[in-house]
Amino acid sequence: MCTYATVKTSLRGSAKGPDSSWFRVTDGTVYFDHPVHAMAEHTLNIDFADPSRGPSARVAVELTAASARDLVAAIQAALRSAPLALTT
């Protein structure tokens, strides 16, 4: 199916690529839909992007649902492991 559902969020940070270049990330787009490249019928897809630099200023990730949940847990664990003062 095409879920169409798209969740957008503003981000502050950086990402590497394309062309192995770093760029500032301003926007995150998250959706569960068909992947372009991953060998799964549906994946959790994340685009880290800076739309002001054009469509190619994007780092795309396609993860199986289980992998996406593992990633969420890993992110939360990493954030928890840091001193609270640094992550608020």
Partner 1 sequence: MSESLIAETVQITGQGGDHVEAYLARPADEGPRGGVVVIHHMPGYDRATKEIVRRFAELGYDAICPNLYWREAPGAAPDDAAATARAQGGVPDERLLGDVAGAGAYLRSRPSSNGKVGVIGYCSGGRQAVLVACNLNVDAAVDCYGAFVVGDPPEGFPLQVSNLVDQLPNLRAPLLGLFGNEDAHPSPEQVAELDRILIVNHKPHEFHRYDDAGHAFFAVDRPAYRVAAATDGWERISAFYTTHLGG
13 binds partner 1 (CB under 8 A): no
Rounded to a whole number of angstroms, the minimum distance from the CB of residue 35 to partner 1 is 8
> How many degrees, rounded to 5, is the angle at CA 16 between CA 39 and CA 52?
100
**Residues 45, 28 contacting (CB under 8 angstroms):** no
- Would you state the torsion angle of the CA atoms of residues 2, 42, 17, 74, taken in this order, to the nearest 10 degrees? 130
Q: Which residue has the tokens 């957008």?
A: 8
Q: Which of positions 30-49 make contact with partner 1 (CB under 8 A)?
A: 31, 33-34, 36, 39-41, 47, 49
Stretch that binds partner 1, among 3-11, 68-76, 79-87 (CB under 8 A): 3-11
Binding positions for partner 1, rule: CB under 8 A: 1-8, 27, 29, 31, 33-34, 36, 39-41, 47, 49, 51, 54-56, 58, 60
